Amino acid sequence: MTPDAGGEGDPEQRVRIRLRAPVAGAAASAPDPGPEGPRPFVLTAGRVASADPAIGLETQVTAEPGASDDEVALLPPELQAIIALCAEPISVAEISARTRLHFGVTRVLVGDLRAAGHLEVHLGPGDGASDPELILRVIDGLRAIS
Amino acid sequence: MDSVRSPDWPAAPLGGLAANSAAARYGTPSGPAPAVGRAQPPHPAEPAYPPAHPPAPPAPVAGPRPEAHPGRRAAPPVPVKILIAGGFGVGKTTTVGAISEIAPLTTEAEMTSAGIGIDDPGARSAKTTTTVAMDFGCVTIDRSLKLYLFGTPGQARFGFMWDDLARGALGALVVVDSSRLDDCYPVVDYFEQAGLPFVVGVNAFDGRLALDLDAIRWALAIGEHVPLVRFDARDRLSVRDTLLVVLDRALQRATRDRGA
């Protein structure tokens, strides 16, 4: 009994269907297939609070250079994907978007990976919003856009 | 065992990293909005943007990649953020996309027809999907400073996200559609209470405003100190100038706090 015999079983095909841009009318009237895959917080074993609440959307993350590849290879694919993305400095929001994980899930996983020594989380000096110098630099940078 | 399906949720990420751009999710806009505002290859027949000035246009700089140093690693940039808030279909994603150097990404799924009726985008919109979480983009200011723009829905039931978003934000731009003002009341209230500097930007759809700015200011009951500007979410320079107004407010607050 292979109910997936058609295009359904081919992962390529299925992914393409999921990502297809909605066509006005046609897609809107299609029946809702319901949630797919496991619920988001399964990956964190149900934890919703990160080890470090200071990790924000824009917090920059990099891979820890010392991390051994053997160790990384033993991690679940989601975590490996996160580490792979962090080869260059990247924000937690971007990790969340690119791995298509819920932001809350990403934050917990990043906290875990940091605790395990795989990632470096760059929590800056904190309140940039109160630094006029920083704001002036942003203003100058935006003015240069044409 | 036809009930067992391999979970296809984690299958997506590695294959299609680029697939999560807002453009891929929302499709090309069917309305009059032209290609999501990015001035990517400056259209030859379009004189709207002045030809690149000598101070290199920052747009094509490939995101967060200052040459890969195999040995030593560059320090990550200091992130700063501005929020773009507003009701459904007012042009938050377009605003982010107009100035971001990456195609706007989104951290959540879109709301489909299930949300229509609750989140009515109005008679003038052909929108069938909309964002339930955040769209965001970024602008690299220089090697050590990066500006992030986070779009967030303005209705009260998304308030759970605002604390996270507002923490450390420089300021906020509340985007409103002059024909549907009520969507943005909760977020205006929130920013007022949180003391976050904000600016109300009226997105002039096709250059038309349903009400004049004074009437809008009265309807929103915002004080004289809150700038109310009219802008075009599709136009890079218009978005840039509006963000500069936000930053001006942020600077005022920062210098005032510093002086106090």
Q: Residue ranges of the domains in chain A?
A: 47-128
Per-residue model confidence (pLDDT) at position B34: 43
- Any idea what DSSP says for residue B182? G
CATH of the domain at B213: 3.40.50.300
From chain B, the residues in CB contact with A134 under 8 A are 78, 80, 145
* In-domain check, residue B19: no
- Any idea what DSSP says for residue B39? -
Angle value at C-alpha A59, between A54 and A60, nearest 5 degrees: 135
Q: Answer whether A48 touches B (CB < 8 Å).
A: no
Is residue A37's pLDDT more than 70? Answer: no
Per-residue model confidence (pLDDT) at position A131: 85
* In-domain check, residue B185: yes
Residue predicted with more confidence, B111 or A38:
A38
Task: From B97, B130, B134, select the one nearest B115 (Cα to Cα).
Answer: B130
Question: Domain A47-128 - what CATH class?
Answer: mainly alpha
What's the number of domains chain B is made of? Answer: 1
Q: How far is A102 from chain B (nearest CA, A)?
A: 6
Lay out the sheet containing B145-153: strands in order across: B105-106, B135-142, B145-153, B78-86, B171-177, B198-203, B228-231
Q: Could you tell me which residues come within 8 angstroms of residue A80 by beta carbon, excluding any fewer than 6 positions away?
A: A72, A73
Is residue A23's pLDDT more than 70? Answer: no
Structure tokens at B81: 């953020």
In angstroms, rounded to a whole number, what is the distance separating the alpha carbons of residues B18 and B139?
18
* pLDDT bracket for residue A129 (50, 70, 90): low
Average pLDDT over residues A31-36: 57
Amino acid at B242: T
In angstroms, rounded to a whole number, what is the distance separating the alpha carbons of residues B132 and B103?
18
Q: For residue A110, count other CB atoms closer than 10 A to its CB.
A: 25
Per-residue model confidence (pLDDT) at position B231: 92
* In-domain check, residue B48: no
Q: Answer whether A124 touches B (CB < 8 Å).
A: yes
Q: Answer whether B170 touches A (CB < 8 Å).
A: yes
**Would you call A138 and B170 a contact, using CB atoms and an 8 Å cutoff?**
yes
Amino acid at B241: D
Residue predicted with more confidence, A18 or A52:
A52
In angstroms, rounded to a whole number, what is the distance separating the alpha carbons of residues A129 and A139?
13
* pLDDT bracket for residue A81 (50, 70, 90): very high
Do residues B219 and B193 make contact, with C-beta atoms less than 8 angstroms apart?
no
Amino acid at B124: R
From chain B, the residues in CB contact with A98 under 8 A are 13, 17, 20, 105
- Residue from B26, B49, B93, B107 whose CB has the most chain A CBs within 10 Å, to mutate: B107
Segments of chain B scoring below 70 in pLDDT: 1-74, 108-133
- Residue B201 structural domain: 75-259
Per-residue model confidence (pLDDT) at position B3: 54
From chain B, the residues in CB contact with A22 under 8 A are 26-27, 112, 128-129
Torsion of CA B210, B129, B196, A95, to 10 degrees: -150
Torsions phi, psi of A62, nearest 5? -135, 155
Per-residue model confidence (pLDDT) at position B116: 43
Do residues B118 and B208 make contact, with C-beta atoms less than 8 angstroms apart?
no
Q: How far is B72 from chain A (nearest CA, A)?
A: 10
* In-domain check, residue B11: no
Q: How far is B164 from chain A (nearest CA, A)?
A: 7
Per-residue model confidence (pLDDT) at position B35: 44
Per-residue model confidence (pLDDT) at position B125: 53
Do residues A92 and B165 make contact, with C-beta atoms less than 8 angstroms apart?
no
Q: How far is B252 from chain A (nearest CA, A)?
A: 8
Amino acid at B217: R
Is residue A105's pLDDT more than 90? Answer: no
Per-residue model confidence (pLDDT) at position B199: 95
* In-domain check, residue B198: yes
Per-residue model confidence (pLDDT) at position B147: 94
Do residues A43 and A82 make contact, with C-beta atoms less than 8 angstroms apart?
no
Per-residue model confidence (pLDDT) at position A54: 80
- Which burial class, exposed, middle or buried, applies to A65 when counting CB atoms under 10 A from its CB (0-12, 13-18, 19+)? exposed
In angstroms, rounded to a whole number, what is the distance separating the alpha carbons of residues B230 and B218?
15
In angstroms, rounded to a whole number, what is the distance separating the alpha carbons of residues B48 and B162?
35
Q: What separation in angstroms does the CA of A16 have from each of A10, A12, A22, B10, B24?
A: 10, 6, 12, 14, 11
**Would you call A89 and B77 a contact, using CB atoms and an 8 Å cutoff?**
yes
Of chain A, the end-to-end C-alpha distance in Å amounts to 61
Do residues A92 and A56 make contact, with C-beta atoms less than 8 angstroms apart?
yes
**Would you call A128 and B250 a contact, using CB atoms and an 8 Å cutoff?**
no
- Residue from B3, B4, B9 whose CB has the most chain A CBs within 10 Å, to mutate: B9
From chain B, the residues in CB contact with A93 under 8 A are 105, 107, 134, 136, 148, 150
In angstroms, rounded to a whole number, what is the distance separating the alpha carbons of residues B83 and B190?
13
Amino acid at B4: V
In angstroms, rounded to a whole number, what is the distance separating the alpha carbons of residues A31 and B221?
42
Do residues A119 and A64 make contact, with C-beta atoms less than 8 angstroms apart?
yes
**Would you call A103 and B251 a contact, using CB atoms and an 8 Å cutoff?**
no
From chain A, the residues in CB contact with B129 under 8 A are 22
Could you tell me what percent of chain A has a pLDDT over 70? 66
Do residues B112 and B128 make contact, with C-beta atoms less than 8 angstroms apart?
yes
In angstroms, rounded to a whole number, what is the distance separating the alpha carbons of residues A127 and A130?
6
pLDDT tens digit sequence for B35-75: 444 444 444 454 444 444 444 444 444 444 444 444 456 68
Q: Is the ipTM of this complex over 0.85?
A: no
